[in-house]
Amino acid sequence: MVRRVLTLASGRVAVAILAAVALLAIFGPLLAPQDPLSTSDNTLAGISGQHWLGTDYLGRDVFSRLLDGSRVSVAGSLEVALMALVVGAVPGILSVYLGRVFEWLTLRLADTLVALPLLLFAVAVTALLGNGITQAMFVTGVLVSPLFYRVARAATLSVARSQYVESALISGASLGWIVRRHVWVKVLPPIAVVLAQTIGVGFVIVSSLSFLGIGVQPPAPTWGGLLATDLGYLSYQPWAPFVPALLIMVTVWASNLLADAIRDVSGEAGRAMVNRRKALGGLA
Amino acid sequence: MILSVTDLDVHYGPRRRRRQVLAGASLAVDRGEVVGIIGETGSGKSTFARAVLGLVRPSAGRIVIDGEDAAGYGNRQWRTLRRRGVIQYVFQDPLRSLDPDLSIADSLTEPLTLRGVPRAEAVDRARAYLSRVRLDEDLLPRLPGELSGGQRQRVAVARALVTEPKLVILDEPVSALDAANRVQILEILKELRATGTALVFISHDLGSVAGIADRVAVLYQGEFVEAGPTRDVVTKPTHPYTRLLISSAPTLRRKVS
Amino acid sequence: MTALTESPVAAGVTSPVLAVRDVRIRGLGDEIVHGVSFELTPGKVVGIVGESGSGKTLTCRAILGILPPQLEVSAGAVHIGGRDVSALSPAEWTALRGSTISAVFQDPASYLNPSIPVGAQIAEVVRVKKGVRRRAARHRALELLAAVRLREPELVYGQYAHELSGGMLQRVLIATAMAADPRVLVADEATTALDVTVQAEILDLLADLRASTGLAMVLVSHDLAVVARLCDEVLVMRDGEIVEQGPTDRVLYEPEHSYTRLLISEHEQYGLEKFLEDS
């Protein structure tokens, strides 16, 4: 599937951006030219050779803080996405096969979770469980999981009633065989789409929470936190909020673009499109 | 007797609005026999096939397949029975009967590999049956989307044959196909009968099974209202619905209205 | 009713209501349909037999003026009611459709709005095409439902598409097609998706309409027997060309082309022919 996504221009752009953000998260803190936490007297300085993006109100190097803060933001969004995937997708697939009671229970649970307001709940949980971004992210993951549940369930339902699955049943296939052989491949693409999208959502949530000062202990830098402090000193550095905001926007945009690209190459229509392009000489 | 169905009742729907789809249906199929089940939409013919295959549970009656009464079986017992490879099914719609993500080879070998047959041996058998349905083996690595409807239907027939079943049920196997493909499939089925495999054809059109069926059973509103050797049923029908079927069958003799 | 035995070549005294003259259809650079010709006079039925891909549906669409955008009639002419249709504007086409030439297709349910009772949909056609008021349109719709032999027109009028069987739906569509009293009806695989008993009833109905109103028809099917039942003249199409054409009796009993012979022998081998002939 990765190869197919890369045949689309949108796919290549999205993967490139997200790969860059991932590299930033992994290597960023190591590449920071200055200590992101060290304060200095050179407050609210402009762009210079020493401080590529200037300094903030405590004299700390903004560029270094951005690089360092990338790890928290990316890790947070991944935590949300993976939590939602595991908590949502697996029950979604199983709800088709484990009987009416399980189906009813999981459906009602998903409905309930959908009704809860995301950010409010995350804030409430951090108040209860302590101010850690990981706790907030896991709770957010659970709250976002109904989406994965419904998508996985819908994909499984459409496969479960198909003739080739019935044919496998008639030949004596077990439930495990059918899920491994037929269901999994059909469920993966829609899940991948939702996953890509959720990474973007997770990113916004992490940024929002850190913007509000929740989940992070200052003075640890985060993109959202940077944005928050920048807004406080707008009259001194009007251009300052642009960089963290831009980073957040581009990352979220790239993840949605990736979700679109995965959706475009999935399923029969997607396969047909990819084949057509190959036949026409791989025009982007 | 490869199949013996006695007094089969099947109901559909939740408790309050239960509908009876089959009522006291009885049918026997001998080894190597070709039986046609004729019924219109809503007669219960698909339900009959599904009950015999274990896809739908009957409310009453007996279904004896190769000596085993499967009517009261649960999922596990049905799985064991199915793995004996005695009974198989060909669907009506050739376009949806193959997994679009699996190659033809994978679809064909599935009935064998799921019961532990080594892949190499399964592929050999798949190749053999592919040629039996007059398809070339270079279709093996292809995906169903690359094949025509007629080719897909033939693959579906080959898939039903790889386990060398004693009974194959076919639901309108040729109605979605054009003339050339229809003739080909019917030829293949005739050859199949010659090897001793019993066939049960389900159709709404008496004409489409009359040419190949030894016996015909007419299903009307959930009951078998007439059954017998094809020639007798066609030339000396007793039930009014059978008479209607015969007079409706499109023939090339000019109708004078 | 015995078939009209005029040879299709002779134009007859009445001018044709539909004339198709060497129509060729081209698309994406290739010619897809290579020269179809036939004529319809009032009460005459022409059958087109062929498999999917033979060009029979494209020919129908060309006659009705609804070819897909990439395709066009590259040569030949279609005359409906004496008028050359290539010269018609979209407004003129709209006026022509329903009132002079009409059509029914396969899968009747997909041609009806699922959220409006079927009777209202027929009445709408009557109102638009005949310009009558609501009450008169409803009355006419009920008449049409009775004319297509639906047993309880009042009841069917108020029902939705999902409440009706395939055969009843096709009758409703035939009623809709007949609403503006067309002179030609194109039936493209109209009975293919129906049970054989229902198919027989619909074909009887079409024969009835022809007898009572002088309706001329183009009947398209992949089944030679369906065509043979009702048609005076048969065209056998394959890969975009007509491989055989002539009066039905001649084509059935003295086929010239191997493909026609294949269609006939298939019926004889796998149909009721051999049983019925002996009895």
Select the more confidently predicted residue: B155 or B16.
Answer: B155
Smallest CA–CA separation between B73 and chain C, in Å?
34
What type of residue sits at position A235? S
Task: Annotate C214-270 with DSSP letters as a single string.
Answer: --EEEEEES-HHHHHHH-SEEEEEETTEEEEEEEHHHHHHS--SHHHHHHHHHHHHH
pLDDT tens digits for A132-142? 777 778 888 89
CA angle B243, B223, B34 (to 5 degrees): 75
Give the residue, B42 or C170, on which the prediction is more confident.
Answer: C170
Q: Which residues of chain C approach chain B closer than 8 Å at the C-beta?
A: 1-3, 51-52, 165-166, 195-201, 204, 207, 222-226, 228-229, 248-249, 252, 262-264, 266-276, 278-279
- C8 occurs within a structural domain: no
Neighbours of B59 (CB within 10 A): 15
At residue A77, the pLDDT reads: 85
Are B110 and A173 inside 8 Å of each other by CB? yes
**pLDDT of C117:** 94
- Please tell me chain B's helix, strand, coil percentages from 3-state DSSP, rounded to the nearest 5: 40, 25, 35
B256 within domain boundaries: no
Mean pLDDT of C80-105: 90
Asked whether the predicted pLDDT for residue C7 surpasses 50, the reply is no
- Pick the closest to residue A195 from A132, A266, A243, A126 (CA basis): A266
Helix (H, G, I), strand (E, B) or coil at C55: coil
The 10 Å Cβ neighbour count of residue A99 is 10
Q: Has residue C153 been placed in a domain?
A: yes
Q: Which residues of B touch A168 (CB under 8 A)?
A: 110-111, 114
Q: Which of residues 163-222 of B touch C (CB under 8 A)?
A: 178-180, 182-183, 186, 204-208, 210-212
In a domain, B253, yes or no: no
Mean pLDDT of chain B: 87
Give the model confidence (pLDDT) of C117-126 as tens digits: 999 999 999 9
In B, which residues are within 8 Å of C223 by CB distance? 250
Residue-level pLDDT at C277: 65
In a domain, residue C267? The reply is yes
User: What's the whole-model pTM score?
Assistant: 0.77
pLDDT, residue B227, reads 92
pLDDT confidence bin for C1, thresholds 50/70/90? very low
Q: Which residue in chain B has the smallest CA separation from C51? A: B178
Dump pLDDT digits (tens) for B112-142: 998 888 999 999 999 999 998 888 888 888 8
Contacts of A138 (CB under 8 A, 6+ apart): A79, A83
Strand partners, C185: C102, C217
With a CB cutoff of 8 Å and minimum separation 6, the contacts of A95 are: A102, A103, A106, A107, A149, A153, A156
Confidence (pLDDT) at A284: 45
Residue A105's pLDDT is 93
Strands (E), chain C: 18-27, 30-40, 45-49, 71-80, 83-84, 101-104, 184-188, 216-221, 233-238, 241-247
User: What pLDDT shows up at residue A23?
Assistant: 85
Q: Tell whether B114 is within 8 A of chain A (Cβ).
A: yes
Of B99, B114, B145, the CB nearest to A177: B114
Minimal CA–CA distance to C19: which of C218, C207, C212? C218
Number of domains into which chain C is organized: 1
Q: Other C-beta atoms within 10 Å of B162: how many?
A: 23
Residue A99 falls in which region: left (phi positive, over 0), alpha (psi -120 to 50) or beta: left
Determine the length of chain C. 279
Quick count: other Cβ atoms within 10 Å of Cβ B157?
Answer: 23
Whether residue B178 and residue C195 make contact (CB cut-off 8 A), yes or no, is no
Distances (CA, A) of C3 to A146, B43, B254, C46, C230: 66, 35, 10, 11, 8
Per-residue model confidence (pLDDT) at position A123? 78
Report the CATH number that the domain containing residue C163 is assigned in CATH.
3.40.50.300
Q: Which residues of chain A have pLDDT under 70?
A: 131, 215, 217-218, 268, 281-284
Nearest to B55 among A166, A171, A271 (CB): A166
Report the range of poorest mean pLDDT among A227-241, B219-233, C188-202, C227-241: A227-241
Q: How far is CA B49 from the centre of its chain?
A: 7
Mutual angle of helices B179-194 and B149-161, in 10-degree steps: 10
Contact B176, B92 (CB under 8 A): yes
The reply to whether residue A271 touches residue B145, judged by beta carbons under 8 angstroms, is yes
Tell me the pLDDT band of C278, cut-offs 50, 70 and 90: low
A181 touches chain B (CB under 8 A): yes
Q: Are A170 and B89 in contact (CB < 8 Å)?
A: yes
Put simply, whether A268 touches B (Cβ < 8 Å) is yes
Find, among B213, B176, B241, the residue nearest to C197 by Cα: B241
Whole-number pLDDT of residue C279 = 47
| Residue B63 placed within a domain | yes
In this predicted structure, the answer to whether residue B146 has a pLDDT above a threshold of 70 is: yes
CA end-to-end distance (rounded Å), chain B = 44
The ipTM (two decimal places) reads 0.88
Q: Greater confidence, A217 or C201?
A: C201
Q: Measure Cα distances from C10 to C5, C38, C99, C246 in Å.
A: 11, 11, 27, 12
3-state secondary structure chain A: CHHHHHCCHHHHHHHHHHHHHHHHHHHHHHHCCCCCCCCCCCCCCCCCCCCCCCECCCCCEHHHHHHHHHHHHHHHHHHHHHHHHHHHHHHHHHCCCCCHHHHHHHHHHHHHHHHCCHHHHHHHHHHHHCCCHHHHHHHHHHHHHHHHHHHHHHHHHHHHCCHHHHHHHHCCCCHHHHHHHHHHHHHHHHHHHHHHHHHHHHHHHHHHHHHCCCCCCCCCCCHHHHHHHHHHCCCCCCCCCHHHHHHHHHHHHHHHHHHHHHHHHCHHHHHHHHHHHHHCCCCC
Domain assignment present for C123: yes
| CB-CB contact of B10 with B59 (8 Å) | yes
Q: Is C197–B244 a contact, with Cβ atoms under 8 angstroms apart?
A: yes
Contact between C165 and B205 using a beta-carbon 8 Å cutoff: no
Note whether residue B149 is domain-resident: yes
Is the pLDDT score of C237 beyond 70? yes
Residues facing residue C78 across a β-bridge? C20
Question: Domain tally for chain B?
Answer: 1
What letter does residue B236 receive in the DSSP assignment? S
The whole-angstrom separation of Cα A82 and Cα B237 is 67
More confident position, B13 or C211: C211
Q: In whole numbers, what is the pLDDT of chain C averaged over residues?
A: 87
User: Has residue C48 got a pLDDT over 90?
Assistant: yes
How high is the pLDDT of residue A270? 74
Least CA distance to C273: which residue of chain B? B251
- What's the token pair of residue C188? 């493209």
Pair of tokens at residue B108: 């064909």
B230 in reach of chain A (CB within 8 A): no
What's the pLDDT at A210? 79
Q: Is 60 exceeded by the pLDDT of residue B257?
A: no
d(CA B210, CA B214): 8
Q: How far apart are CA A239 and CA A235, in angstroms?
A: 9
What digits encode the pLDDT tens for the residues B52-92? 999 988 988 999 998 888 888 888 899 999 988 899 999 88
In a domain, B156, yes or no: yes
Count of positions (residues) in chain A? 284
What domain range includes position C38?
18-278
Q: Look at residue B144 and tell me if it is in a domain.
A: yes
Nearest residue, CB atoms, C195 vs list B204, B251, B254: B204
Buried b (16+ CB within 10 A) or exposed e, B80-109: ebbbebbbbbbbbebbebbbbbbbbbbbbb
Q: What is the mean pLDDT of residues B97-116?
A: 90
Beta-carbon separation of C274 and B211 below 8 A: yes
In a domain, residue B151? The reply is yes
The DSSP 8-state label assigned to residue C107 in this structure reads: -
Residues of chain A in contact with residue B82, where contact means CB-CB under 8 angstroms, are 169-172
Question: What is the extent of the structural domain holding B120?
Answer: 3-248
Q: If we measure between CA atoms, which residue out of C225, C203, C268, C197 comes closest to residue B243?
A: C197
For the ranges A90-94, C25-29, C170-174, C190-194, the maximum mean pLDDT occurs at: C170-174
- Exposure class string for A11-21: b at 16+ Cβ within 10 A, else e: beebbebbeeb
Question: What kind and span of H or E run contains B31?
Answer: none
CA distance B242 to chain A (A): 31
What are the b/e assignments for A130-168, b being 16+ CB within 10 Å? eeebebbbbbbbbbbbbbbbbbbbebbeebbebbbbbbb
How many CA within 13 A on the CB side of residue B26?
6
Chain A within 8 Å of B88 (Cβ-Cβ)?
yes
Q: Is C83 contained in some domain?
A: yes
Using the Cβ of B164 and the Cβ atoms of chain A, whether some distance falls under 8 Å is answered with: no
Residue C2 lies in a domain: no
Give the CATH number of the domain where residue B91 resides: 3.40.50.300
> Is C48 a domain residue?
yes
The percent of residues above 90 in pLDDT, for chain B, comes to 35
User: Any chain A CB within 8 A of the CB of B93?
Assistant: yes
Chain position carrying tokens 């039930």 = B239
> Contact A266/A185 with Cβ under 8 angstroms?
no
pLDDT at C230 exceeding the cut of 60: yes
| Full set of structural domains in chain A with CATH | 2-279 (1.10.3720.10)
Give the Cα separation of A132 and A129 in Å (integer).
8
Tokens of C90: 């979209």
Two structure tokens written together for C262 = 């294949």
What burial class does residue B188 get, using C-beta atoms within 10 Å of its C-beta: 0-12 exposed, 13-18 middle, 19+ buried?
middle
